[in-house]
Chain A
Amino acid sequence: AQKVTQAQTEISVVEKEDVTLDCVYETRDTTYYLFWYKQPPSGELVFLIRRNSFDEQNEISGRYSWNFQKSTSSFNFTITASQVVDSAVYFCALSGWGAGNKLTFGGGTRVLVKP
């Protein structure tokens, strides 16, 4: 069975602070894919990043960065210099080779960025 855990339910920061969202996953598959999605108040899930299990390179995209560590089964997400527009719920998700293409989501972390 696959499982994704996002232990932080809500994080509140002041604008320009950095915020790190934790994601821990469980899977028996050796080939799997990890994703992060953003869900603003409008409700639509917005794709942010996809990583496969063989690529442990960290990635940076603008103010966003991701730290993938297979040794600890974690795929953490950092927003640098947060802005009010970053306020949303962020979901980590897993797609395992043995589970077909269905995504298993974590419970989400609500980020509130105050001006």
Chain B
Amino acid sequence: GAGVSQTPSNKVTEKGKYVELRCDPISGHTALYWYRQSLGQGPEFLIYFQGTGAADDSGLPNDRFFAVRPEGSVSTLKIQRTERGDSAMYLCASSPTFGQGETQYFGPGTRLLVL
């Protein structure tokens, strides 16, 4: 079956602009996660959804970052007033349920470059 998909694959924007990154999880997966990966580092957790609600948003770096999942499937990560430090790979993952220790399956990521 289809895996996690993310669009766009690459996004170049200017400092101060608004961007939206989309994640389409594996069909039927109820849990969805966002991570950010800077060059040469491991991914860092941003936010996690159980269904439509954000169960844990402790990793969002500041209030410029926001994510939604209105129908419990597709999620959008929104970044306002982008800064050069936001440049990174943004990874989305999904898991079948939100049980502890569930395996997370990752998408190909969106590479964001803020000029």
Q: A residues near B, CB below 8 A?
A: 4, 31-33, 35, 37, 42-47, 50, 52, 91, 93, 95, 97, 100-108
Residues of B within 8 A of A100 (CB): 48, 55-56, 100
The listed residue (B41, B102, B106, B109) touching A108 by CB distance below 8 A is B41
**Interface residues of B, CB < 8 Å — how many?**
30
Number of A-B contacts (CB under 8 A): 72
Asked whether B42 lies within 8 Å of A91 as measured between CB atoms, the reply is: yes
Give min CB distance, B44 to chain A, whole Å: 7
26-55 of chain B: CB within 8 A of chain A: 31, 33, 35, 40-45, 48, 55
Nearest CB to that of B35 among chain A residues?
A103
Asked whether A44 lies within 8 Å of B107 as measured between CB atoms, the reply is: yes
CA distance A33 to B100 in the complex (A): 9
Asked whether A106 lies within 8 Å of B33 as measured between CB atoms, the reply is: no
Asked whether A101 lies within 8 Å of B42 as measured between CB atoms, the reply is: no
Residues of B within 8 A of A95 (CB): 100-101
Given A43-B108, A45-B93, A93-B42, 18 more A-B residue pairs with CB atoms under 8 Å apart are A4-B42, A31-B100, A33-B100, A42-B108, A44-B106, A44-B109, A45-B43, A45-B91, A46-B106, A95-B101, A100-B48, A101-B55, A101-B98, A101-B104, A102-B45, A103-B43, A103-B104, A107-B41
Q: Mark B4-39, 1 if CB is under 8 A from A, else 0.
A: 000000000000000000000000000101010000
Asked whether B33 lies within 8 Å of A101 as measured between CB atoms, the reply is: yes
